[in-house]
Amino acid sequence: MGQHVYGVDLGTNNIKMYSSASDNILNEKNVIAIKNKNEVFSYGNEAFEMYEKAPDNIAVSFPVKFGVIADIKNMETLFNCFYRKLNGGKNITGAEYCVAVPTDVTEVEKRAFYDVILDAKLKAKNITVVEKPIADAVGMGIDVKSPNGHMIVDIGSDTTEISVISLGGIVLSKLIKTGGTKFDEAICSIVRKKYNLIIGSRSAEQVKMQLADALEPDESVIATTYGRNILTGLPNAREISATLIHEAISELLHSIIENIKLILERTPPELTADIYAKGIFLTGGSAGILNLDKLITEETGLKVNMAENPSETVIRGIAAIVTTPELEGLTYVPREKQYS
């Protein structure tokens, strides 16, 4: 590929962009704050700090929902903001772009990822796409072009994508609407039910990061969270135990494992043998829950290989793909007739 190549991973919670010229990765919250309906007030990590805190005239939103682009206009605005930030405020024309797309979505939804860059008016020399499970695999150091089967489980913010890959392609893939956001909602619900305390999603996320354990946790492990008491309407603080958080997320974790089993049941026998030998590869920003790998091993009998930096495996995979000539065949240009 050319001198200036950019990799793009438009995630539900975070946007990751890679520049081959600087060999840098930008990783920020995929959030935009719009003031008075048309003025960009803030974006990225700064906008996320305003989430659930902003006044009525500032709308804070996530343009990507459940792994697909729900707000194309704001996504294009955000992409341009991050692109300029990555390049020190400059617009570089004639560059090449590679964007990751989920597998188990409609062709129109895949096309939207391509269109974000196409409509950014950057005079792109070339735009290609790569399936996220393939980028995940490359990012974890898997030889994706081999005839061996590999199972990739990517637990993201809104979705979990379970895929079996072989020979550089997707054999099976399933996208389920369970991820970090669902865990946060379950925590908000159980805290409200048990303590009559309303907490925000950001507070729930912080408690999850401190206490979440996929196996039976230690009851003595606690954290303090803050919210509003339903009965008095006043601010209140409560100590939350790891046991309560486990109770909140346990059913959701088991639903992910049931879908892993479902994909394994549908996998051709020869590839199943490869997966048994190599194990499951676990990645994604929400895959870092303590002992989740052990729970999957208990339920499936397969070893679990955890990604080193699970939130960035896709973008690191894209970075390897766009800078390694032997891997260029993993990308493709969407055909117009698929979307007519």
Residue 271 contacts residue 171 (beta carbons within 8 Å): yes
**Other CB atoms within 10 A of residue 12 CB:** 23
Domains along the chain with CATH numbers: 5-135+313-339 (3.30.420.40), 143-178+253-311 (3.30.420.40), 180-248 (3.90.640.10)
pLDDT tens-digit map of 254-279 = 999 999 999 999 999 999 999 999 99
Average pLDDT, consecutive stretches of 10 residues, N- to C-terminus, the chain (340 residues): 82 95 94 93 96 93 94 94 90 90 92 92 90 97 96 96 96 96 97 96 95 92 96 96 97 98 96 96 95 97 95 97 94 66
Decide: residue 8, CB within 10 A, 0-12 exposed, 13-18 middle, 19+ buried.
Answer: buried
pLDDT tens-digit map of 25-50 = 999 999 999 999 889 999 999 999 99
Residue 306 contacts residue 282 (beta carbons within 8 Å): yes
3-class secondary-structure state, position 222: strand
91: Cβ–Cβ under 8 A, 6 or more apart, which residues? 83, 84, 122
Q: Is pTM beyond 0.85 here?
A: yes
